[in-house]
């Protein structure tokens, strides 16, 4: 069932190396495999999501930078990927200068929101892969989003970083996007044999309850290898533990976010 408007989800964590881009790519591909039309917006100047989906530097043309700071729209910036139903607005290092250029403008927090409100109706779900910092790009992602999905590595300092991110969400709600809510927490790089992983999971579930997804993304070498072949895990190794986990995550995401029926035409 199609949505009346796309659901916009920012995927963010100010810590690097927690599986944020891996989650953006593979959740997007898993949702597309289930029939959703998905757009992934690469909001990270490193452009790892773009590389991981096979968009080479010389193919990127108009990018997220143009979407934010020029008259470019989704139709002119989005690129198809090798995975049916999944498109991406790619990023290049040019995006690293966007913070400074947006800083002085009166609408510095709403550039992305405005771009998406004008030209994103062709998609069911929009995933925003935010950079690993709480900078102006990430704030644009939070202001544009309906919800925030947080990949959380199963490690000792996980909850400390999460507290800072949730404080930022509270500030964004108070100032620029009162409708923003927490989509959930996804435990990544999880090793059930590791006491620390189990303890982090217990602590997070005690603190946030049902906001923590039941699906856990395991530490899996095939997930780590797939981006170097510019493929989602489903193209690279569809039977791997990582592929199974992201299929489960997509199913849980859809159960938590059922599409609203289109209004009847009289």
Question: pLDDT band for position 266 (50/70/90)?
Answer: very low
Q: How many Å apart are CA 21 and CA 109, to the nearest integer?
A: 22
Angle, nearest 10°, between helix axes 158-175 and 136-144? 60
Domain encompassing residue 120: 7-256
pLDDT tens per residue across span 163-203 = 889 999 999 999 999 999 999 999 999 998 999 999 999 99
Q: Is residue 2 part of a domain?
A: no
Q: Is residue 245 part of a domain?
A: yes
pLDDT tens per residue across span 55-70 = 988 888 899 999 999 9
**CA angle 118–121–126, rounded 5-degree value:** 95
143: domain CATH number? 3.40.50.300
Q: Is residue 43 part of a domain?
A: yes
Domain count, the chain: 1
Are the CB atoms for 163 and 197 separated by under 8 Å?
no
In this structure, the number of other CB atoms found within 10 A of the CB of residue 88 comes to 29
Q: Is residue 182 part of a domain?
A: yes
Provide the total of helices (H) and of strands (E) in the chain, helices listed first. 12, 8
Q: Is residue 177 part of a domain?
A: yes
Beta bridge partners of 179: none
Q: Is residue 264 part of a domain?
A: no
- Residue 4, pLDDT > 80, answer no
Beta bridge partners of 187: 152, 216
Which stretches does DSSP call E strand in 124-195? 125-129, 147-153, 181-190
Q: Is residue 263 part of a domain?
A: no
**Terminal CA-to-CA distance of the chain, rounded, Å?**
20
Percent of the chain with pLDDT strictly greater than 70: 95
Which stretches does DSSP call E strand in 57-165? 79-80, 86-89, 125-129, 147-153
Q: Is residue 134 part of a domain?
A: yes
**pLDDT attached to residue 37:** 96
Question: pLDDT band for position 120 (50/70/90)?
Answer: low
């Amino acid at each position: 069932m199609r949505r009346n408007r796309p659901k916009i989800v920012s995927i963010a964590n100010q810590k690097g190396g927690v599986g944020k881009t891996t989650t953006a790519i593979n959740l997007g591909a898993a949702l597309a495999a289930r029939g959703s039309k998905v757009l992934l917006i690469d909001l990270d100047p490193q452009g790892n999501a773009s590389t991981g989906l096979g968009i080479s530097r010389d193919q990127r043309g108009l990018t997220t930078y143009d979407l934010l700071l020029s008259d470019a729209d989704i139709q002119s910036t989005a690129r198809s990927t090798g995975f049916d139903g999944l498109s991406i607005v790619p990023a290049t290092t040019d995006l690293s200068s966007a913070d400074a250029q947006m800083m002085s403008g009166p609408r510095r927090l709403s550039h992305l929101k405005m771009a998406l409100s004008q030209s994103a109706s062709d998609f069911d779900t929009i995933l925003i892969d935010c950079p690993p910092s709480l900078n102006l790009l990430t704030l644009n992602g939070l202001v544009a989003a309906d919800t925030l999905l947080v990949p959380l590595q199963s490690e000792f300092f996980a909850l400390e970083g999460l507290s800072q991110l949730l404080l930022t969400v509270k500030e964004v709600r108070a100032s620029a996007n009162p409708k923003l809510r927490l989509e959930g927490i996804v435990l990544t790089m999880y090793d059930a044999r590791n006491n620390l992983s189990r303890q982090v999971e217990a602590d997070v579930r005690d603190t946030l309850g049902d906001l923590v997804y039941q699906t856990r993304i395991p530490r899996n070498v095939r997930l780590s290898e797939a981006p170097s072949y510019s493929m989602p895990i489903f193209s690279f190794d569809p039977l791997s533990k990582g592929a199974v986990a992201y299929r489960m995550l997509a199913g849980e995401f859809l159960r938590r976010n059922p599409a609203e029926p289109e209004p009847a035409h009289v």
